[in-house]
Structure 1
Amino acid sequence: MKSTMPKTLNLLKAQYAFTKSDEIFLAQMKPDSEAHVEKFSDGYYEFIWKLGQAPDFFETDTALMKHRDLIRQWFTGLFAGSYETDYFLQLGKIKEAHAKLEIPTHHMMALFHFTPIFAMTLIQKLYGEDKFLPERIKALEKILAINLDILTGSSRETETKHASSITKLENKLLKYLKTIGSYFNYLLMGALVMVATFSIGLFGYDVYLLFSGASSIERGILTTLGSLLILWSAIELINEEIKHLRGGSSALAAFLTLVIAALIRKILIVSLSPEKAKEILMYGLLVLFLSISYWLISLTTKSRNN
């Protein structure tokens, strides 16, 4: 790797037109960078803290101090004056350290947003009257561009490969789960059709009892209404499940409607027996709780649609 490193570095320098003159201008500013490295470090951490990014990565004081040392070395290294194999190997170590701390690329980008602002302001202040001020600024821009290319370019490649491998695994898993889910949805649809069929049978049976005189008119009317309510809820649930199969939202609210309808039918029947007051109260509380759940689900669905 070291044998190919010089060739790669020369290509990189040529790409950014980084010359020996640039190295000399940067080396001349090294004492100033060392004198202001603490100010740079403090300003940088204040900057990322305002962005709300840093606390997630620096869980301990030790991790923070290690990162501070890296940032100080990196900043003064910008003005090293010698940018050969050792310098770029040091950049590789910094990249590896960021990887160990699990600091993502966008955090590195914050560094390259703050550094030019700080460094340009410092150079303007210290070398404002220098006739080589434009050359000094240009040299800094070039070395920052090279650093950005090395530190974030490879990080992006690593993250992309990692994300790609995860995506392939997730896609296979999701495809498998989607296939199983579709089978269960069709099975559920078949069960709902059976429920609707039985509801029709129950409704017909209640009508038969009403007209045959096997039950009182009051009881017959109430049970028939209850059966009709269940049948209506089952049909509504089937319609909602069809929408769900076509990519719509879950039919949970419609399912609750069916359960509530069944309980209401039970209450209508039990209400004819005064001695079952406790049972009626229990069913009433169940209907109340289910109705609240139905209202909350409907409210959530409505807010999502809006």
Structure 2
Amino acid sequence: METRSERKSWTVQKEDIHAELAEMMELTPEEKTLLSELEGGAEKQAEALTEDFYSRLLAHENTAEYFEGEDMSERHAMIADWFVDLFSGEYGQEYVAQRLKIGHVHVQIGLPVRYPLSMIDVIMQHGRTVAEQSASPDAAEEAFQKVLSLDIAVFNQAYEDRQLKHLANLVGGERLARRLLTGVGD
């Protein structure tokens, strides 16, 4: 199998990430409307989500340490707002920029990516509960899964950006860093 030394995907950065992911997710205007109609239901579900979310995180020593000395009411409000935004119906560049910012904060505090990703089932469960309130629950759940997938992709992009930046600084350039990461030339 031939290994490529360059990939088109390597050139997609910053604002272009949104366009690429939006195209890949194939989120239709109808799905956006369906989700936006459920925003009120998401607001009502947000408290139960935050309770389940932080109960799990605080029950484990390795994740609980990230909340020592933190104002948990502020954390609850932040995760509640994030959850409700999943049902906003607006998933443009501003939405992606905000999600990248959240991801970068997780990177800056040194939170291993495995911890936020291990919480996806909690978010999915509560998203499903909201989707069930729709006149078209199956379509609403499918749309919610797409938006959550978008968030996961953007969140992971924040981690990749940080790692790539550090490696590029060490080796003198992003192209070389990407080549090293992929093992091209081995």
Displacement of 1:114 after TM fit? 1.4
Question: Which letter does structure 2 place at the counterpart of 1:92?
Answer: L
Which residue, 25, 28, 42 being the options, matches 2:51?
Answer: 42
The reply to whether residue 98 of structure 1 matches residue 106 of structure 2 is: yes
Question: C-alpha separation between the residues in 2 aligned to 1:91 and 1:150?
Answer: 6
1:184-209: CA deviation from partner (whole Å, max 9, x where unpaired): xxxxxxxxxxxxxxxxxxxxxxxxxx
1:57 is paired with a residue whose SS is helix
2:75 maps to: 67
1:135 maps to: 139
- CA spacing shift, 1:33–1:11, aligned 2, 3 Å: same
Structure with max Cα Rg: 1
Are 1:37 and 1:76, in contact at CA under 8 Å, matched by a contact in 2?
Answer: yes
Question: C-alpha separation between the residues in 1 aligned to 2:121 and 2:80?
Answer: 16
TM-score normalised by structure 2 residue count: 0.73
1:300 maps to: none
- CA spacing shift, 1:162–1:80, aligned 2, 3 Å: same
Write the mapping of 1:121-132 to structure 2, written as runs, cut at 5 A: 121-124=129-132, 126-127=133-134, 130=135, 132=136
What percentage of aligned pairs have identical amino acids? 17
Question: Which letter does structure 2 place at the counterpart of 1:37?
Answer: A
Displacement of 1:47 after TM fit? 2.0
Displacement of 1:89 after TM fit? 1.6
Question: C-alpha separation between the residues in 2 aligned to 1:51 and 1:150?
Answer: 26
Displacement of 1:93 after TM fit? 2.2
Greater RCO, CA 8 A, separation 6+: 2
Question: C-alpha separation between the residues in 2 aligned to 1:86 and 1:157?
Answer: 18
- CA spacing shift, 1:31–1:83, aligned 2, 3 Å: same
Question: Which letter does structure 2 place at the counterpart of 1:25?
Answer: L
Which residue, 10, 14, 26 being the options, matches 2:35?
Answer: 26
**How many residues align structurally?**
158
Tell me, which stretches of 5 or more residues in structure 2 are unaligned? Answer: 1-13, 171-186
Tell me, which stretches of 5 or more residues in structure 1 are unaligned? Answer: 167-306
The structure with the greater share of residues assigned to helix is 1
Displacement of 1:160 after TM fit? 6.6
Write the mapping of 1:98-247 to structure 2, written as runs, cut at 5 A: 98-124=106-132, 126-127=133-134, 130=135, 132-159=136-163, 162=166
Are 1:48 and 1:110, in contact at CA under 8 Å, matched by a contact in 2?
Answer: no
1:119-150: CA deviation from partner (whole Å, max 9, x where unpaired): 213433x34xx3x2211011000000010000
The reply to whether residue 17 of structure 1 matches residue 23 of structure 2 is: no
TM-score normalised by structure 1 residue count: 0.46
The reply to whether residue 78 of structure 1 matches residue 125 of structure 2 is: no
CA RMSD of aligned residues (A): 2.7
